[in-house]
Each structure stands twice: as structure tokens, then as C-alpha cells.
Structure 1
Amino acid sequence: MKTIFALLLLSVSLIAETPDRGVVRIHAGMQEPLQPRGLGFIVEKDGFVLTTYDNLVEKTSERLFERLEVTSGTKSYAAEIIGVEPTINIGILKLETDETFTPVVCAVKRDITPGMALQAVSLENGVLKTLDGSVTALNTKLCYQHSLASTMFRAKITLPVTSLGGPVFHADSGEVAAIFTGYKPVPEAGHAEDTSETHLLPINLCFNIYESLKTKRSLKSPWTGFSVRPLNENEQHYFPTAKKHHGGVAIEDVWDNSPAQKLGLKAGDILVQFSYNRILSVADFQKWLYMYGVGQPVKLIILRNGTEYLMTDYVIEERPEWAKPQ
């Protein structure tokens, strides 16, 4: 991904139609009037906004928009891009003001269940609408390193491309359940996608890396060449180990020709430590991968077969184009 910033103007307009939901409109362009890009939503009272990477990048050059302006009614705010994650398609903006905003509440610890009622904010022909829907299928994995499709849940709801970056709420509580990134899986022979269903990125996955993106101000996708999963019941019996490790995450898939393969890592190995940081969950792994970020040296401590410890040094690489998850 190119990270040279384009000297373009990006404008975000706070949506007056739904002020209680913290939703924003995003516009961009070289000249006035600025063109609509999509939606986003305020997630912190001091003006941090979660949106999609696609809303912040010029498609043909793959350069991020540099200058930002935020308006609400007659007020205007300067803003900046804080961090982006191109692989899962999220971005963080910061409104440069001392004013306090009303953020959305994100349901980062609430489970998604089939049949759960949802409400999405849709932008159609310049008008905001609320669309009702429901969960039809759950995500099957927590780590998107190898498969992006498996980390999405599906919902019976249809959203236009103009709603990219918009929140999808739990209908009963008004908390954000997911973000609409416009993701569509690569077509497979013999499998037809249900066009009435939409793939949605769970909000908890976004917040596994949100603080790391914000702190690191990351603009690239780091990768290791492997995906991870929670320990199964048999693997949990390995802990605590003689070296006082109390858990870890199992390596699930290893990409061919990846850093992980070159390091000799195998499916079934257990990552217990990422440099000085103990790993107890998939969220821990994602957090520290982004907190260190591309170009940083780390030490991976691996438990193999429940008894053998392996230590390997790795300089985190940027995910190559050929290794984008499907």
C-alpha cells in the first residue's frame, strides 16, 4: 500500500438527522463541491471517528487524503487520519477540537446470535434512513489473518455502497454491533451468494486493534503469515507450564511462502508470548501485533506438543498484495 498522502480535501459532516447516534458523513474531492464518500460514527467523546479505509483513500493512486475538514451545521472542524487497517477496511479519524461529542456505545462484549434484530443507518440519495434486519449466520473465526469471510457475520439486510462505514445497531439496545465495510467474498464455483444478505464486520474485532491503531498511528497492515484460534480442550491441559505460562493461542493456518513458514512454524503450535507480552486470547495477539507494527522486531515464544519451547525472532512485515485474505 502506498502511504504518500494526497493533498486533497476531505470533509466530514455530522448527520443532523440522527444526532443521538453519533453518525458522520464523509465527503472528499479536489474541488468544491466535495463528493460524498460514505459514513462513519463517533466512538469517543473527544471526537474520534471510526469509518472504513475505503472512505479515506483515493482509489486510483491508493493514497490517503491528507487534509480534513469536519462540519456540523454552521460549525467546521479540522481533522486528521489517525490510523488505518487496509486489510479489514477500517480507519480512525480525529476531530481537532476541544468540544465534547456524544459517542455511540459499542457492544464489544455482547455475543451475536442467529435471528438477532438489527438496525442499520443507510444513506440513499442523500437521505438517511433506518433499515431493519436480522442476523442470518455467525462468523466462524476470530482471526482474519487467513480468511476475511469467516470473520464476518451475515445479516438479512441490504445496504447501498453510499453507506460504507456506517454502524449497524442492536435493535433492542441501540449499541453498535458491527460496521458495514462493503465486503463481498470472492465468487466460488458452485456457490451463489444470497444478494439479500450483507457481510458485516463485528465491532469487537474492530476494537481488538482500535487502541493499537490509535496509539501506533499505523497506516499499514502488519502480518505474520499465520492465523490463530482459541485453544481447544486438549490444548488447555498443557497449562500452566513449567515456565508459568497460563495459556496462549493455537496457530491455525500457515500461509505458503509466508514469514511463518520460513520461521518453521506449524499449525498446532501455540503462541504463548509476543516479545514481553503474555498471550491469552486472539484479541491479545491482534492487539500486540498492531501495537508493535510493521518494521518492528519481536520475539515469538512458541509451545510445541505441549512441552517443547521454541523462540524465534521476527521483524514484522507489511502484508503483501498476494496475501490478502479472501
Structure 2
Amino acid sequence: MTSFRIYPAAAVTAAALALAGCTGSPAPGPTSTAASPSVSASAATPAGGGGLPAVPGVVKEVEPSVVTIRTEIGLGSGVIYHSDGSIVTDAHVIENEQKQPFKNVQVQFADGSQAQGTVLGVDDVTDVGVIKVDRTGLPAAKFATSDPEVGSMTVVIGSPLGLEETVTAGIVSSLHRNMPPSKESPHGAIDLLQTDAPISPGNSGGAVADSTGQVIGLSEAYLPPSSGAVAIGFVTPSSTVTNVADQLLASGSVKHAALGVVPTDITPQLAQRFSLPATAGALVVSVSQGSPADQAGMKAGDIITKFAQNQIGNVTDLLVALRKQDPGQQVDIVVQRGSASQTLHVTLGNLATGP
């Protein structure tokens, strides 16, 4: 299991992170073809893999696999996963405002043709979804099997603000970025790639490729200029996309380890108000009855300080550590309860997510 580098919460709040999802209107944008993409770049010569001269070749390779997805409330992007008509995208692209997946969506291909897509499944934990169209012989993208190098080139293809097949370029700015939970993303955003290639509303679910034309991930989110950010975007890595997509195609659901608690970060104000014995850790607000945590003896008011040998400083740390585990695994969890510290032995449950 690769190590995680926590994105500093002080640098960005959950409220500042914007999903690069559906635009506000499902109105069609201008039609484009693989021969005439709109291109912009945030770096003169991205390091590690060809630089801007390589972009046209990457576009020629990847663009036929990128689609525009239209729903009742807006539009986003997707990538052809298999030639049999399966397409991957971000879950929030194919969900309504109550996070319920649509039954059907409209798919427009790079050549301008359209087809109705059926939503096969979504996974809100990773924000990955799969749809299927009744077409065969489609140009499936090649997905990378390993993480890119920091500094290597990124090429983003999607439909920002309805402008189909728009291309932007940059570099991989960092790996393994983690975002705290928010109203839009209660499970947090874990293990993302960071890029300075411009990502905008409508890019969500579109391809982010490397200099060889392999898809290294799907556009996920960005920090808007109002937050003071300049070209900070986030990408769901291909390893996550393919793992989740394969599970959705096989069963319509995805397995995730479950603990069964509602945690919160410990602010100085919270620590003072409730006379908490620690300011670092994840405070357990509630424990679900019959959950793995409940069966192991965890109680509301406990402070989780260590999870499976991982030090826990906040809720994001806990989510990262939990995401590394599989359902059914046994882990030791150290909690601070009053002035005493104790170790609980927990057999993790299964948080199966699907439509």
C-alpha cells in the first residue's frame, strides 16, 4: 500500500473545494471534432515527458475516447472504458442534487454522434460511476496501471461549460492529496492527484492523460479563483477508477471497509468546551448500534488517536487509514477515554455502495 501525504487543512477548507461537475445548464455547447480541439496550457514546457509539442499526439490518441454526458440538470464528461459501450465518469456527474443516480443520460461522442446511456452504478465514496450505451466497437481509452511522476505532463480533455472536447495542459503537481469531508463529499476525497492543468465546471469525469496517451485519471475537482488559488485541480487516479469500475460492472456495488462512527475534528473551542483530554485525534460523536465499533466497545466521546498503526490527528487521517483496509479485516484502534488510553480490537464491516 502506498503512503499518503495529507493535504494541509489550513491551506484549503472543504468549502473552498469545487467539484468540477455539471454545468448549470444542459444546453448543448458548440460541436467539435478530434481535428479541431480548443487548447490552452498553464505551463510553457511541462517537465518529464515531451512537453507541449507532445500534446497534439496525446489529443489524437485520447480524444476519440472522451464523451460529453448530458443529464436533466447539466452536463459533464466521461471516458470510454470498454469497446462494448461501458463508460466511466464521476458519480456526481450522473446524480441529481439529492445524490440519487439518474436512470438514463445522453452521451455525445467525439464524432458528434449521440446515444442514450444507462447508469449501471455509482460509488459515492470514490465519486466514480459507470454508464453503458448500446454500441460496440468504441475506441476505449488505455488506463495507466501506476501513478505518474510529479512534474510529468498532464493533458486534460473534457467539456468545460459545455465546450466539447476542450484540451488543457500542465503537469502533475503532487500525488496522494486528501481533502476533508464536506456536505458534498461526506466521505472526504482521498488519494487524489493534483495538477495545474486548468479544470473547470463540466470537466468532471473527463480524461487526464500523460504524454504517452494513457489516462492517468478522471477530472474531479478544482479550487476556484475566489479561494485565492491559481491552477489547482484534482484528479481521481486511474487505479481507483479501474478498481471501482470493475466492481460496479461485476455487481453494481463497491465494497469499502466500515467502522460505524460519526467522527469530527477537535477544535480548540471544542476541546475547551467539553474538557477533552487531547486536541489531536478524531472525536467520536456517535456510534451506530450494532456496528463494528459498537461491538468492539467504542463509545461516543472517545478520541481515536491510532488506527491500524497509523497516527490519527484529525478526521481526514482516519478516513485515509480506513480506506487502506478491506471489509472483514481486524485492526487495533487506540482511543483516549477520559484520562485513560485503551486499545480496541475491531473487525471492520462492509460499506457496500451502489445505486
TM-score normalised according to structure 2 size: 0.55
Q: 2:246 matched to 1:211?
A: yes
Q: Identify if the C-alpha distance between structure 1 residues 257 and 183 changes in structure 2 by more than 3 Å, giving closer, same or farther.
A: farther
Q: Distance in 2 between matches of 1:304 and 1:28?
A: 43
Which residue of 2 is the match for residue 108 of structure 1? Answer: 145
Query: SS of the counterpart of 1:114?
Result: coil
Aligned 8 A contact 2:88 2:245 in 1 = no
Aligned 8 A contact 1:84 1:220 in 2 = no
Q: Identify if the C-alpha distance between structure 1 residues 20 and 28 changes in structure 2 by more than 3 Å, giving closer, same or farther.
A: same
Which residue of 1 is the match for residue 153 of structure 2? Answer: 117
> How much does 1:127 deviate?
4.2
Aligned 8 A contact 2:68 2:158 in 1 = no
Aligned 8 A contact 1:123 1:162 in 2 = yes
> How much does 1:179 deviate?
0.7
Q: Distance in 2 between matches of 1:131 and 1:80?
A: 29
Query: SS of the counterpart of 2:247?
Result: helix
Which residue of 1 is the match for residue 70 of structure 2? Answer: 27
Aligned 8 A contact 1:122 1:160 in 2 = no
Gaps of at least 5 residues in structure 1 are 1-8, 30-34, 227-251, 271-280, 290-298, 320-326
Matches within 5 A, 1:96-245: 96-97=134-135, 99-109=136-146, 111-124=147-160, 126-139=163-176, 148-170=188-210, 172-182=211-221, 194-218=229-253, 223-225=258-260
Ranked by relative contact order (alpha carbons within 8 Å, sequence separation 6 or more), the top structure is 2
> How much does 1:302 deviate?
4.5
Q: Give the % identical residues.
A: 15
Q: Identify if the C-alpha distance between structure 1 residues 214 and 284 changes in structure 2 by more than 3 Å, giving closer, same or farther.
A: farther
Q: Identify if the C-alpha distance between structure 1 residues 149 and 92 changes in structure 2 by more than 3 Å, giving closer, same or farther.
A: closer
Q: How many residues align?
A: 247
Q: 1:243-281 deviations in whole A, cap 9, x for unaligned? A: xxxxxxxxx9896535453243873448xxxxxxxxxx9
Which residue of 2 is the match for residue 49 of structure 1? Answer: 87
Q: Distance in 1 between matches of 2:283 and 2:295?
A: 11
* Pairing partner for 1:81 from 88, 99, 119: 119
Aligned 8 A contact 2:293 2:346 in 1 = no
> How much does 1:204 deviate?
1.0
> How much does 1:63 deviate?
3.2
Which residue of 1 is the match for residue 41 of structure 2? Answer: none
Which residue of 2 is the match for residue 262 of structure 1? Answer: 294
Residues 148-157 or 68-77, more deviating: 68-77
Structure with the higher fraction of residues in strand conformation: 1
Q: Identify if the C-alpha distance between structure 1 residues 150 and 16 changes in structure 2 by more than 3 Å, giving closer, same or farther.
A: same
Q: Identify if the C-alpha distance between structure 1 residues 200 and 67 changes in structure 2 by more than 3 Å, giving closer, same or farther.
A: closer
Query: SS of the counterpart of 2:71?
Result: strand
Q: Distance in 2 between matches of 1:163 and 1:41?
A: 11
> How much does 1:217 deviate?
0.8
Q: Distance in 2 between matches of 1:255 and 1:207?
A: 33
Aligned 8 A contact 2:87 2:131 in 1 = yes
Q: Identify if the C-alpha distance between structure 1 residues 312 and 224 changes in structure 2 by more than 3 Å, giving closer, same or farther.
A: closer
Q: Identify if the C-alpha distance between structure 1 residues 84 and 149 changes in structure 2 by more than 3 Å, giving closer, same or farther.
A: closer
> How much does 1:147 deviate?
7.0
Aligned 8 A contact 1:85 1:221 in 2 = no
TM-score normalised according to structure 1 size: 0.60
* Pairing partner for 1:67 from 101, 104, 116: 104
- AA at the equivalent of 1:24: V
Which residue of 2 is the match for residue 296 of structure 1? Answer: none
Q: 2:76 matched to 1:38?
A: yes
Q: Distance in 2 between matches of 1:62 and 1:53?
A: 9
Q: Identify if the C-alpha distance between structure 1 residues 127 and 43 changes in structure 2 by more than 3 Å, giving closer, same or farther.
A: closer
- AA at the equivalent of 1:257: S
Q: Distance in 1 between matches of 2:215 and 2:112?
A: 28
Gaps of at least 5 residues in structure 2 are 1-25, 35-58, 262-280, 299-303, 310-320, 335-342
> How much does 1:38 deviate?
1.1
Which residue of 1 is the match for residue 132 of structure 2? Answer: 94
